[in-house]
Amino acid sequence: MKRTELIENIRSKGSFLCVGLDPDIKKLPAHLLKEENPIFAFNKAIIDATAPYTVAYKPNLAFYESEGIEGMKALDMTVKYIKENYPDQFVIADAKRGDIGNTAAMYARSLFETLGADAVTVAPYMGADSVTPFTAYDDKWTVLLALTSNKGYEDFELMEDKHGHRLFERVLFRSQRWGSPVNMMYVVGATRGELIADVRKIAQRNFLLVPGVGAQGGSLEEVVRYGLLPDECGLLVNSSRGIIYASSGEDFAQAAGEAAKKLAGEMDTLLRENGFK
């Protein structure tokens, strides 16, 4: 999906919501366990209920891989289902891959071509040649980890060089050459508040994929205040647990739809208030 198309979808829906499809088999509503593929049945119902309010879905591969072959089948079926039924939805394979060149090329092929995702999350530690096999796809998106939403982000991401530049800033700065705003996004946690403004100093036009609203405690208002691009939005805010586990009963899909509608409503208000047109 092209950048202009993504922006247009955000504009027409008044939403920059991405729903994280992280189906933990232990948390699925009991009545789904009799389905042939309970994970896919869960995802399908969540997608149907939330699609009017979202512009993107982000399956996290760990949740599928941990279920072995059946889990991988569910992942394939989920991506195909979205592409066939909701072709305006952007699909991010949250895989956080990072490996040497020939292996990175394999992962890129696997996730962009075999799976058919629009975007893949990639880890920066190994440097340029672990990232550029992904950015070589100019019709697909590389979503590079920059400033993550988890507690451990302080260990390395905030490391400062002698000029006071932090590792996440070096990642943003160097990677500007590896891709462009039409095929490179960054993961920036909603829990990082003002640091998002520092991200924007370097990644001035890139979309930011923002996890951490909801269960992790990030503020949607702060994300918009520090990260919004007035003309292009430049934000995809992800919520996983707060939506997909809004209810654990038979009404799980309806509850997920309501949770997505509520969050999208807040987004619409914030977009209007902040001059996104």
How big is the site for its own copies, counted in residues (CB under 8 A)?
Answer: 55
How crowded is residue 31: how many other Cβ atoms within 10 Å of its Cβ? Answer: 12
Is residue 68 within the footprint of its own copies (CB under 8 A)? yes
Q: Is 261 a catalytic residue?
A: no
Is residue 110 within the footprint of its own copies (CB under 8 A)? yes
How crowded is residue 154: how many other Cβ atoms within 10 Å of its Cβ? Answer: 9
Measure the CA–CA gap between 131 and 152, rounded to whole angstroms: 22
Rg (CA), the chain: 18
Minimum gap (Å) between residue 84 Cβ and its own copies = 18
Tokens read off for 244 = 């997909």
Is residue 27 within the footprint of its own copies (CB under 8 A)? no
Binder of its own copies out of 131, 236, 260, 270 (CB under 8 A): 131
Is residue 231 within the footprint of its own copies (CB under 8 A)? no
Measure the CA–CA gap between 150 and 155, rounded to whole angstroms: 11
Is residue 99 within the footprint of its own copies (CB under 8 A)? yes
120 touches 95 (CB < 8 A): yes
Is residue 116 within the footprint of its own copies (CB under 8 A)? no
Query: Which of 73, 83, 96, 261 is labelled catalytic?
Result: 96
- At 159, which amino acid appears? M
53 touches 267 (CB < 8 A): no
268 touches 277 (CB < 8 A): no
Beta bridge partners of 235: 208
In a 3-state reduction of DSSP, which class is residue 183? coil
Is residue 109 within the footprint of its own copies (CB under 8 A)? yes
Minimum gap (Å) between residue 216 Cβ and its own copies = 8
Nearest CB to its own copies, comparing residues 30 and 62: 62
Minimum gap (Å) between residue 69 Cβ and its own copies = 6
Nearest CB to its own copies, comparing residues 10 and 223: 223
Phi, psi of 234 (to 5 degrees): 70, 15
**DSSP single-letter state for residue 208:** E
Minimum gap (Å) between residue 237 Cβ and its own copies = 16
Is residue 174 within the footprint of its own copies (CB under 8 A)? yes
Binder of its own copies out of 14, 77, 88, 103 (CB under 8 A): 103
Is residue 135 within the footprint of its own copies (CB under 8 A)? no
Q: Which residue reads 């507690």 in tokens?
A: 151
Beta bridge partners of 147: 188
Residues that bind its own copies (CB under 8 A): 22, 24, 60, 62-63, 65-69, 72-73, 76, 94, 96-101, 103-104, 106-107, 109-110, 114, 123-131, 145, 148-157, 159-162, 167, 170-171, 174
